[in-house]
Structure 1
Amino acid sequence: MSLAQELSNNRLVIVLRLSGEMCTKAPSTRKRFQSQFLRNIAAALGAANISHTIRDQWYRVDVETDDERAVEILSRVFGVQKLYYSRAQNWSTIEDIVAIGASLFDARVANKRFAVEARRVGNRELFDFNSQDLERALGKRLVEAGGRVDLSSAEVHVGVELRPKEVFFFDRELSGPAGLPSGVEGRALSLMSGGFDSAVASWMMLKRGVALDFLFFDLGGPPHQRAVREVTDVLAKAWVHGYAAKLHIVDFRPVIAEMKQGVRGRFWQLLLKRLMVRAGDLVARDGTHIALITGEALGQVSSQTLSNLAAISVPLATPVLRPLLGFNKDEIIAQARLIGTYEICSGVPEFCALGGGKPVTRSTMEQLDAEEARLDSSLLETLVAHRRVLSMDELGEPLLIDVEVDRVPGDALVVDLRSPAAFKSWSYPDAVNVAFETAIHQFTLLPRDRCYLLFCDVGLKSAFLAEALRPLGYKAFSLRGGLRTLKRLAPPAA
């Protein structure tokens, strides 16, 4: 039977030891950090509907509760260095402490190796003995009970935390994540792909006291969105405490369509990364977010060579932080296992692989500038303005119904989203031409009592627009495969 089970009839006290970094701050900073720490603790327990009382001892935080789930939850609050559960007992003399320890551990150490570890907390001038005095006195008493002292390979750990009026005994101490309380360093925006890297990068910044919102660029429609929502949900439920995080969703399929039409294939992957950072900067301009967080690791893939990272970088109002830059992939995966995101991330397909042939590995900023100049400069602003913003509570809500179809519905008006020149070169019978750049702003002028089939060159812009129209009451569909599919479905020319 564990010590916690022996004390199960008493109200559980979970003692939290604070991260060393918190304890060394100047008094005013320490007070601010500790206030945020207490709010995060209350939020973490409140989210699980755990009744509790928090007692701030400055050098420790005591959480009184009768719900043992609290131990695991508090072990995931940033700022917790160590934690153990016990109950407070009063003492007046060292003999009182030895008697209490003996009553708890005599039977547990009989015929076993044990070690006593005592520490005094608080104003040490209030003690007339030191930690070693207590360790020797209690150790002697437990030897008389049949135990054998072994400081290197003890079978029973006798932990004692001594305060001026109270003593706590414990048999095991759990590790917390340490770091700084989330929120003390302000707020940032973390780019989430659903893979190992972005989740681990987010966790590392949370550990450094940064409150995060998340930004997801949808490249694959509902399957991609569903995967990223699940990863974000797992990360947030376990590690985000004390503030209301949000997930921003920007549909990037029109960007891919633009690139595939106007940009050389070997630059697709690299330019996509730059445009994501640019879009992140646009979102961050609301004044809430101080920085962008990405999961890039130097040399891991073609877009993350030193040359390419330099080429991606453009002057932005928002700095970009890359906490994984010096990590190996196996280190990232090991960390994903520790923080609980490995299983969910391992099942996320690769949506960023765009094809385009062998990707460039040593680009320059000037080369990438030239490729970017081929794109519609207003597209990013339009897509960011149409983004969805979800609270963490909304991540589990059903996604929009899939809007893609492989045929032309019998009652549908076919809407060609290509340019007027492309429409003139080939058009589907009775189709109308509304270029995407116009449709995104003016489509709501069309009547809602019609069925619409939207198509573009590859089916990405049309999917974006159809999904945007569905919540507005339109019966809108997107033709999967775009122009190629429609040409196959078109009636033979007379």
Structure 2
Amino acid sequence: MTDYWLVRYSEIFLKSNHVQKRWVNKLVDNIQKHIPNCHVKTERGRIWLYGDVEPEKLKNVFGIRSYSPCIYCPLDELSKCLLEYCENKNFGDVQTFALRIKRVGAHDFSSQDKARELGNLIRKHYPHLKVDLDNPEKEIFIEIRDSDCYLFSEKIAGPGGIPLGVEGSLVALMSGGIDSPVAAYMMMKRGCSIIPIYVDIDPYLGEKGKERAFKVVDALKQYQPGIELEVIGDDYLYTAKKILKHYNSDKYTCLICKRRLYRIAEDLANKYKALGIVTGDSLGQVASQTLDNLYVLDEATNLPVYRPLIGFDKEEVIDIARRIGTYSLSTISTGGCGAVPEKPATKAKLDIVKSFENLYNE
């Protein structure tokens, strides 16, 4: 039986006391959004959950370093509780063990004193056991906090990062492919709430692309409950592509298109007071993501464009996509974009691209 779940955080410790308090409160709020029926209490460096806890959801709450199922007992019953715990953990079947004790509060013993006392107690009941502090077969952690004790033997890794929302929000251009949901996830992990947007480029994208984007965003709800995809229809490219073909400059299609997407994303960011745009660009991965072309793209918006995957290779991105549960959805066939030229520009010049945009606006 588990009485409590101990939740640990890491990066929050690096902040000032004021920021720590605010970030811990945000982490608690996020935990309760994922697990609405659990109860929470906090102490310095620790968050305790009890009641109707769904521990599998903790692996999706950013800011959690690790968590453990704990047995509670009062300090004056620790020896008895420890022996019962050892029996439940089958200490008779192993040869080595270790106790790890942390203590908070005023006591007439040190952590080392209590470790020796309890270690001797265990060895008395299990004479074959030896203490091995470096590589034990069984390990029990005991936290003594004033007159309360918590016993656990398992540390489950959380997702790490910092609490979702402490850094504000970003608009995420969401194609639904492999890269864009991973980029959104990476910025979520760094404390950014995401506003995903799918631009329906009429008539070059079919319904399957939009359906895929919805499915991918649904998968991201496990990390940001309540996230919803905003769909915006736009026929800008239809006229722009006619102009490019007229001047035999179809190679600039993708850049003209993405600059348009950035402007749409900027409008949405201004509406929701978001602080930037996130994309799934990785340097050199496709024609529009060369260094020259990224420079051309960034000029289209006054907002910062965040590219958390910029230095990743494709296999690294795929590994993350598999781990976060978006890969199988992102690889659903959609037929692709019908506007992509046969030979897209890789070293575009900003003045040339802007001259074609000016023709559209005339």
TM-score normalised over the length of structure 1 = 0.67
CA contact (8 A) 1:194 1:227 kept: yes
Q: Which amino acid aligns with 2:72?
A: A
2:298 paired residue among 289, 307, 313: 313
2:78 paired residue among 78, 93, 97: 97
Q: Which amino acid aligns with 1:265?
A: D
> Counterpart in 2 of 1:39?
29
> Counterpart in 2 of 1:26?
16
Please state how far the C-alpha of 1:171 moved relative to its aligned partner: 2.2
Deviations 1:64-117 (A, max 9, x none): 1245xx11112211111110112321104xxx5344222211461214144424
Using the aligned pairs only, state the percent identity.
27
Rounded to whole Å, the distance in 2 between the matches of 1:279 and 1:359 is 22
1:297 paired residue among 258, 282, 287: 282
CA contact (8 A) 2:6 2:47 kept: yes
Q: Which amino acid aligns with 1:275?
A: R
Q: Which amino acid aligns with 1:139?
A: G
Residues 115/201 of structure 1: CA separation in 2 closer, same or farther (3 Å cut): farther
1:258 has 2:249 as partner: no
CA contact (8 A) 1:269 1:352 kept: no
1:73 has 2:30 as partner: no
Q: Which amino acid aligns with 1:65?
A: G
1:198 has 2:183 as partner: no
> Counterpart in 1 of 2:45?
59
Rounded to whole Å, the distance in 2 between the matches of 1:212 and 1:113 is 50
Rounded to whole Å, the distance in 2 between the matches of 1:346 and 1:134 is 55
> Counterpart in 1 of 2:189?
207
CA contact (8 A) 2:68 2:156 kept: yes
CA contact (8 A) 1:293 1:321 kept: yes
- State how 1:63-212 maps to structure 2 within 5 Å: 63-67=49-53, 70-92=54-76, 96-106=77-87, 108-120=90-102, 122-123=104-105, 126-144=106-124, 145=126, 146-212=128-194
CA contact (8 A) 1:116 1:135 kept: no
1:13 has 2:7 as partner: no
Rounded to whole Å, the distance in 1 between the matches of 2:102 and 2:17 is 21
Q: How many residues in Structure 1 have an aligned counterpart in Structure 2? A: 352
Q: Secondary structure at the match of 2:18?
A: helix
Q: Which amino acid aligns with 1:309?
A: L
Rounded to whole Å, the distance in 2 between the matches of 1:206 and 1:121 is 34
Please state how far the C-alpha of 1:121 moved relative to its aligned partner: 5.1
> Counterpart in 1 of 2:224?
240
Q: Which amino acid aligns with 2:82?
A: G
Deviations 1:324-368 (A, max 9, x none): 111111111111122222222222536346332211111121222
> Counterpart in 2 of 1:470?
none
Q: Which amino acid aligns with 1:105?
A: C
Residues 152/337 of structure 1: CA separation in 2 closer, same or farther (3 Å cut): farther
For structure 2, the 5+ residue unaligned runs are: none
Residues 215/113 of structure 1: CA separation in 2 closer, same or farther (3 Å cut): farther
Deviations 1:239-271 (A, max 9, x none): 004xx433221123x233223311222111222
Rounded to whole Å, the distance in 2 between the matches of 1:121 and 1:207 is 31
> Counterpart in 2 of 1:221?
206
Q: Which amino acid aligns with 1:156?
A: K
CA contact (8 A) 1:214 1:246 kept: yes
Q: Secondary structure at the match of 1:358?
A: coil
Please state how far the C-alpha of 1:306 moved relative to its aligned partner: 0.7
- State how 1:285-364 maps to structure 2 within 5 Å: 285-314=270-299, 316-349=301-334, 351-352=336-337, 354-364=339-349
> Counterpart in 2 of 1:368?
353
CA contact (8 A) 2:266 2:303 kept: yes
Rounded to whole Å, the distance in 1 between the matches of 2:283 and 2:28 is 37
Please state how far the C-alpha of 1:39 moved relative to its aligned partner: 1.2
Q: Secondary structure at the match of 1:285?
A: helix
CA contact (8 A) 1:121 1:161 kept: yes
Rounded to whole Å, the distance in 2 between the matches of 1:296 and 1:265 is 22
Residues 127/270 of structure 1: CA separation in 2 closer, same or farther (3 Å cut): farther
Please state how far the C-alpha of 1:38 moved relative to its aligned partner: 1.5
> Counterpart in 2 of 1:478?
none
Residues 353/208 of structure 1: CA separation in 2 closer, same or farther (3 Å cut): farther
Q: Secondary structure at the match of 1:234?
A: helix
CA contact (8 A) 2:173 2:180 kept: yes
Rounded to whole Å, the distance in 1 between the matches of 2:92 and 2:227 is 51
Which structure has the greater CA radius of gyration?
A: 1
CA contact (8 A) 1:82 1:176 kept: yes
Please state how far the C-alpha of 1:215 moved relative to its aligned partner: 0.9
Q: Which amino acid aligns with 2:184?
A: S
Q: Secondary structure at the match of 1:88?
A: strand
CA contact (8 A) 1:14 1:62 kept: yes
Q: Secondary structure at the match of 1:157?
A: strand
Rounded to whole Å, the distance in 1 between the matches of 2:199 and 2:328 is 22
Rounded to whole Å, the distance in 2 between the matches of 1:351 and 1:130 is 66
Deviations 1:190-214 (A, max 9, x none): 1111112111111111111111111
Higher relative contact order (CA 8 A, sep 6+): 2
Please state how far the C-alpha of 1:315 moved relative to its aligned partner: 5.4
Q: Which amino acid aligns with 2:49?
A: V
